[in-house]
Structure 1
Amino acid sequence: MPLTFSAIKNSACRSLYLTAPAAAALVTLTVNAHADAPSVVTSIKPIHSIASAVMEGVGTPYVLVDGASSPHGYALKPSQAFLLQGADVVFWVGPELAPSLKKPIETMAKNAVTVELIDASGIHQLDIREGASFDAHDHDHDDGHSGEEHAHDHAEEEDDHDHAGGEHDHEEGEHEHAGHEHDDDDSHADAHDHSGHDHDAEHQHAAHEAVDPHIWLNPENGIEIAKIMADTLAKQDPANAEIYKKNAAAFSKRIASLDQDISAELAPFADKKFIVFHDAYHHFEHHYEIEASGSVTVSPEALASADRIQEIQGKIRDLGVSCVFQEPQFDAKLVSVVLEGSSARSGTLDPLGTDLENGPDLYPQLLKGLSSSLKDCLGGAS
């Protein structure tokens, strides 16, 4: 990694061998090494982690929703608006996950290449499950349908499946992806330029009103996201194209190996019953062939009603649920209330890597952490 200015400064103070001209030369080299690297802004920590892996040795991306913040109702800070204004590339999941970021990205990052990953070719999509019992939807869009193709799928299914009821706050907001122009020159270049309209607003709404936005929790999607990033960055920064593609290949190999380990770890728990805090894990569950029996809350920002709590408590009792999972971004008291009178254990699942250090290792640590938490709670480990 290149020396930062502060590192050079501190080293110069400690050593008699680093002369002023030498220090100046090192500073110049450091600045030049990053001068041509694109400014990349990402929405959430897992997406930032994948971008960090792809950009390693070239530059470091920025993240908007950091720490214990939730993307579902996030409020952009003034300093982050500045980042968007100076961005060359923005990678985000889309308004289905973070509706409040839609307008700032469109207006402040209007000169950037913006990639809505949920729309990208090759990304596996799943529908949001409805109700406390997850009884309604379980459609896998494994062909990576996006935009109009996905809208067509929903149009065919609407006679049999009601998409009302919105599991997440974002379903109540707008889902118009106005001003997006797809680059057809590359299989992964779903970078959306805000200068044109590729999709009709009604098609976009139909395509996304019931899609689960937690796409990164499927490791196959994580690998695909890395490829999309490498392709996008290679176009913006041809001088470092080979580095991006080499990094993406190394990342993919690492995640594929981890995927096999997690599959083996979770295989014994395929029939175990558990409840999640909110419906954030469908992609993870579907990939590893486990299945939650319901969620405590419809939306992570909304309090669960008394009726819903009673429904979940009944499910815990009737199905012999082993574990109810909370999330570090939200108050654990609600899970404690749900567990009253039962022998089920409580555990923690974190879909964002709240307590993990940002960087290329966060994403694999996040996946491994989910697997370990499920294993420990469902297996009865203390």
Structure 2
Amino acid sequence: MNVRRLIPATALAGAVALGATALTACSGAAAGASGGKDGKLGVTASFYPMQFLAEQIGKDHVQVDTLTKPGVEPHDLEITPKQTAQLADADVILYLKSLQPAVDKAVDQSGVKNIVDAATLTKLEAHAASGHDHGHEGEAEAEAGHDHGHGHEGEAGADPHVWLDPAKYAEIAKGVGAALEKADPDHAADYKKNTDDLVGKLTALDTEFKDGLTNTATKTFITTHSAFGYLAERYGLDQEGISGVDPESEPSPARMKELQEVAKKENVSTVFFETLASDKTAKSLAGDTGLKTDVLDPLEGITDKSQGADYFEVMRSNLKNLQKALGAK
């Protein structure tokens, strides 16, 4: 993943025939999208967070495919002509506009009736790399943003990582559930029940985070990927992101010095990196400051390196790692 000062509106997604684990489910990504088989609703998602929602809400009534293979950086996804053609066969498309330009273009050309843009299902906000600035939406455009070198900054410089806030993810889940009910009214009651169950689990997870992060020695954490603005805002934390749009690039000397001062002043113990990117930058900063390194997963994909097999397991691993780093009591 890349580090951004600002983060534009973007896409979520997923894949997998129901019943498969999150890891094996993603293996069908290369096939792109296709209509459902055996009477199932064919759902195509752009990457893991939407995949997970489709699987949890649709269960046995849906066949879920993803456009992003496990281990692939979602923002850098390029779609093949075959995938573009197959996308038109989907009954429902789930994505988050602006994160993946190739997906946006393919969706626009698909002609599919039931298209769900997750960005419309909750309120997106702008978050700067510095936690002390989060929530100041107008400042977003001043930074390079979540562009990964491709220039696809969101219209309002909005941060797309809403799934890392369980409460906002629950709002999206409700919208996805309603879309599946509309697309497949014969199974509307099941979709409604499954949505309610999932929202209940997300509400419980939100409570776990609130309780687990209320009493900590520090509220500041440093990460190579500024993906945790919503999480930080929800639970009263300050995110400090290392500058640079590439997770493997070296931070500027000025930012390095600034973060060293922040670490000392805020009693920071740990520099976080993610599973889909190199830990080189995190170790570089940690080595100069005497800090530890650990994983904080933005959950844009599940691989065998992930600290958990699905959304809930990885989020609870994130909570545990944050509690340790922040000195939770």
Q: 1:223 to 1:84 in 2, by over 3 A?
A: same
Contact 1:43 1:91 in 2 (8 A): yes
AA partner of residue 163 (structure 1): E
- Out of 187, 194, 197, the residue aligned to residue 240 of structure 1 is 187
Distance across 2 between alignment mates of 1:112 and 1:357? 37
| Cα displacement (A) at 1:35 | 3.2
1:363 aligns with 2:311: yes
- Out of 57, 73, 77, the residue aligned to residue 74 of structure 1 is 77
- Out of 135, 138, 145, the residue aligned to residue 138 of structure 1 is 135
> What does residue range 203-282 of structure 1 map to in structure 2 within 5 Å?
208-269=155-216, 271-282=218-229
Q: 1:370 to 1:79 in 2, by over 3 A?
A: farther
Q: 1:216 to 1:319 in 2, by over 3 A?
A: same
Question: Counterpart of 1:27?
Answer: none
Distance across 2 between alignment mates of 1:363 and 1:82? 30
How does the TM-score come out when normalised to structure 2? 0.78
Distance across 2 between alignment mates of 1:357 and 1:304? 24
Question: Counterpart of 2:144?
Answer: 166
Q: 1:302 to 1:356 in 2, by over 3 A?
A: closer
In the alignment, structure 2 segments of 5+ residues that lack a partner are 1-16, 21-35
Deviations 1:304-363 (A, max 9, x none): 4433333323432343322110011111111111112323211101111533799xx722
How many residue pairs get aligned? The number is 294
AA partner of residue 164 (structure 2): L
1:354 aligns with 2:302: yes
Question: Counterpart of 1:50?
Answer: 53
| Cα displacement (A) at 1:229 | 1.2
| Cα displacement (A) at 1:165 | 1.6
Question: Counterpart of 1:104?
Answer: 106
| Cα displacement (A) at 1:116 | 1.2
Question: Counterpart of 1:124?
Answer: 123
1:377 aligns with 2:328: no
Question: Counterpart of 1:313?
Answer: 260
Contact 1:269 1:290 in 2 (8 A): no
Distance across 1 between alignment mates of 2:164 and 2:222? 17
1:338 aligns with 2:285: yes
Question: Could you say what secondary structure the match of 2:278 adopts?
Answer: coil
Distance across 2 between alignment mates of 1:303 and 1:330? 11
Distance across 2 between alignment mates of 1:378 and 1:214? 22
Contact 1:50 1:222 in 2 (8 A): no
| Cα displacement (A) at 1:303 | 2.0
Contact 1:41 1:64 in 2 (8 A): yes
> 275-284 vs 297-306, which deviates more?
297-306
Contact 1:300 1:330 in 2 (8 A): no
| Cα displacement (A) at 1:269 | 2.4
AA partner of residue 124 (structure 2): Q
Q: 1:63 to 1:173 in 2, by over 3 A?
A: same
AA partner of residue 323 (structure 2): K
Q: 1:225 to 1:83 in 2, by over 3 A?
A: farther
Distance across 2 between alignment mates of 1:50 and 1:59? 11
Deviations 1:204-237 (A, max 9, x none): x7xx332110011111122112211111111111
- Output the aligned Cα RMSD: 3.1
Question: Could you say what secondary structure the match of 2:62 adopts?
Answer: coil
In the alignment, structure 1 segments of 5+ residues that lack a partner are 5-32, 140-153, 176-204
Contact 1:348 1:373 in 2 (8 A): yes
Distance across 2 between alignment mates of 1:302 and 1:344? 18
| Cα displacement (A) at 1:46 | 1.7
Question: Counterpart of 1:295?
Answer: 241
Question: Could you say what secondary structure the match of 1:114 adopts?
Answer: strand
Question: Could you say what secondary structure the match of 1:62 adopts?
Answer: strand
Distance across 1 between alignment mates of 2:284 and 2:19? 51
Question: Could you say what secondary structure the match of 2:144 adopts?
Answer: coil
Distance across 2 between alignment mates of 1:250 and 1:333? 40
Q: 1:325 to 1:111 in 2, by over 3 A?
A: same
Deviations 1:20-61 (A, max 9, x none): xxxxxxxxxxxxx95332211111112211110110121231
Between the aligned residues of both structures, percent identity stands at 25
| Cα displacement (A) at 1:129 | 0.7
AA partner of residue 276 (structure 2): Q
AA partner of residue 47 (structure 2): I
Q: 1:284 to 1:210 in 2, by over 3 A?
A: same
Deviations 1:82-140 (A, max 9, x none): 54132121111221x22332112222x222422111122xx13221215xx3454414x
Distance across 2 between alignment mates of 1:2 and 1:218? 25
Question: Counterpart of 2:8?
Answer: none
Question: Could you say what secondary structure the match of 1:268 adopts?
Answer: coil
